[in-house]
Amino acid sequence: MLSKSQISFVKSLHQKKYRRENGLFLVEGIKSIKEFIQSSYQIHTIFYTTEQREVLPQLPANINLFEVNNAELAKISTLQTPQGFMALVYIPKNKSVSTESLANQFTLVLDGVQDPGNMGTIIRTADWFGFKQIICSEDTVEAYNPKTVQATMGSLARVNISYVNLLDFISESKIPVFGALLEGKSIYKIDWKKEGLIILGNEGKGITQEVISKVNQPVTIPNFGEAESLNVAVSAAIFCSEIRRTKN
Amino acid sequence: MLSKSQISFVKSLHQKKYRRENGLFLVEGIKSIKEFIQSSYQIHTIFYTTEQREVLPQLPANINLFEVNNAELAKISTLQTPQGFMALVYIPKNKSVSTESLANQFTLVLDGVQDPGNMGTIIRTADWFGFKQIICSEDTVEAYNPKTVQATMGSLARVNISYVNLLDFISESKIPVFGALLEGKSIYKIDWKKEGLIILGNEGKGITQEVISKVNQPVTIPNFGEAESLNVAVSAAIFCSEIRRTKN
């Protein structure tokens, strides 16, 4: 049985402000929660419904466990159809990423992506294609937004997300900077060589002018029809696919 | 000034049942509405806010025009931030597609895709890559769902969507049937030849067993990391990209 203050505490974590204040975010569904248990993330609490008790895996002793009923879970869930389990997970410290650590690999860089679903899909896609690190501008949507977490389908547990001053970060980097732009060299003709940053911009405005000025190689996905642009998660996926196709 | 019955009529079109009954769907934002005006779709009514009056394009005489205030538009809009314009557009008749008409080209086929955002992104991506027709199983999400329409960013005006009995349709088809599956030949090694159906399945369950039995060539997007699967709109995009990369 959850107290009123427990309910209001968990509900507060639906909002970014309180996630930041408390250093906690929400993960729903046992499949995703298991991915976080097996990762370097620390779990604070798991809520599970009585009927799901037997599905509960063996857990480290430092995780709080609360049995709740369906009505209680519905109150604290961010989903229309709650999935029997919800975990409060500690937000990891924003690890600083040295530009040197990105040598000899390809790294996605997000400049102001705003939609939580797009962000989550990009993280899931990066995980599929084996990209372990995503660098984000400070105004990119929070990776711990419940919609983002949901869309990653557990991949957030495996892909490192860092928020940085993008302009400084790129300026310090010594590896090639590829930018996803509407005008540039065809992505099918790029010689990726051995390393690079792949910059993807905001859904409406694209990459900011300042960041564009740091791009060494504008890259475009050729348009064979009439749409004006591609969804940013779709663009990211085609970049990941092309890099793996040609570099493996 | 909208009457109560006008407001409740437009609001009813937020629901599939009433879209079907009335043969109308909603398009918001002047950019998308312009795409439908220039297409073969017929527009029933355009609502515009007073401050947007000057943005209004020249319109055919058979379109009803209603000036509304921001509060009225907020009442009938499906968006949290209404975009100054909303159109009621006639749903076209579900045109029958002959399997012969799909010779010498590649066509996306959706088997039970459920998420309106994924559906919209697939339509937008198909438009970008010049795929003019999408075939859907009868249980695929409705293309006229407001979230789908929004995610297409106007591309719905250019891509034909047909709902069919998928098993019958594929059985009658004489062109190769490629299926997006977790096990199959690497998408990077496919010889697409000149034509084919590209089957993409439901978000959770994939392609149905009956339809899998009709697949001639299972195709997989190689996994270089640890995610269990890719988002279906991402998979669709990588199929479209690979076909255009190798066939153009």
Q: Domains in chain B, start-ordered, CATH in brackets?
A: 4-90 (3.30.1330.30), 99-247 (3.40.1280.10)
Residue of B132, B154, B237 with shortest CB distance to A234:
B237
Alpha-carbon span B14 to B26, nearest angstrom = 8
How close does chain A come to B200, measured CA to CA in Å? 16
User: Which of left, alpha, beta for B201 (phi over 0: left; psi -120 to 50: alpha)?
Assistant: beta
Closest CA to B201 of B186, B188, B182, B224: B182
Closest CA to B203 of B180, B219, B176: B180
Contact of B204 with chain A, judged by CB distance below 8 Å, is answered with no
Note the pLDDT of residue B248: 61
Residues from chain B contacting residue A238 (CB–CB below 8 Å): 237-238, 241
Q: Taking CA A167 as the corner, what is the angle to CA A102 and CA A19, rounded to the nearest 5 degrees?
A: 80
- How many angstroms from the chain centroid is the CA of residue B32? 13
Note the pLDDT of residue B57: 79
pLDDT tens sequence across B101-145: 899 999 999 999 999 999 999 999 999 999 999 999 999 999 999
Residues from chain B contacting residue A153 (CB–CB below 8 Å): 227-229
Backbone angles phi, psi at A85, to 5 degrees: -140, 140
Closest CA to B151 of A111, A152, A151, A230: A230
Alpha-carbon span A76 to A47, nearest angstrom = 10
Residues from chain B contacting residue A126 (CB–CB below 8 Å): 225
Q: Where are the beta strands (DSSP E) in B12-72?
A: 24-28, 43-49, 64-68
Whether A227 and B153 lie within 8 Å, measured CB to CB? yes
| pLDDT digits (tens), chain A, 248 positions | 899 999 999 999 999 999 999 999 999 999 999 999 999 999 999 999 998 888 887 888 889 999 999 999 999 999 999 999 999 999 998 878 888 889 999 999 999 999 999 999 999 999 999 999 999 999 999 999 999 999 999 999 999 999 999 999 999 999 999 999 999 999 999 999 999 999 999 999 999 999 999 999 999 999 999 999 999 999 999 999 999 999 86
Residue B5: half-sphere exposure toward Cβ, Cα within 13 Å: 0
| Residues A244 and B222: beta-carbon distance below 8 Å | yes
Alpha-carbon span A121 to A236, nearest angstrom = 9
Alpha-carbon span A35 to A28, nearest angstrom = 11
Whether A234 and B151 lie within 8 Å, measured CB to CB? no
Extract the residue ranges of chain B whose pLDDT is less than 50: none
Whether A228 and B129 lie within 8 Å, measured CB to CB? no
Closest CA to B239 of A237, A121, A118: A237
CA of B219: how far to CAs of A51, A109, A157, B132, B197, in Å?
A: 39, 29, 28, 22, 12
Residues from chain A contacting residue B130 (CB–CB below 8 Å): 224-225
Helices (H), chain A: 4-12, 16-22, 30-37, 70-76, 116-128, 146-152, 166-172, 209-212, 232-247
Q: Which of A36, A119, A128, A242 is most worth mutating to test chain B (most B CB atoms within 10 A of its CB)? A: A128
For chain B, the first-to-last Cα distance in angstroms comes to: 53
Give the three-state DSSP class for A182: strand
- How many angstroms from the chain centroid is the CA of residue A128? 13
Tokens (6 digits) for B1? 């000034």
ipTM, two decimals: 0.95
Contact of B228 with chain A, judged by CB distance below 8 Å, is answered with yes
Query: Please, which residues have CB within 8 angstroms of residue A23's CB and are 6 or more apart in sequence?
Result: A90, A91
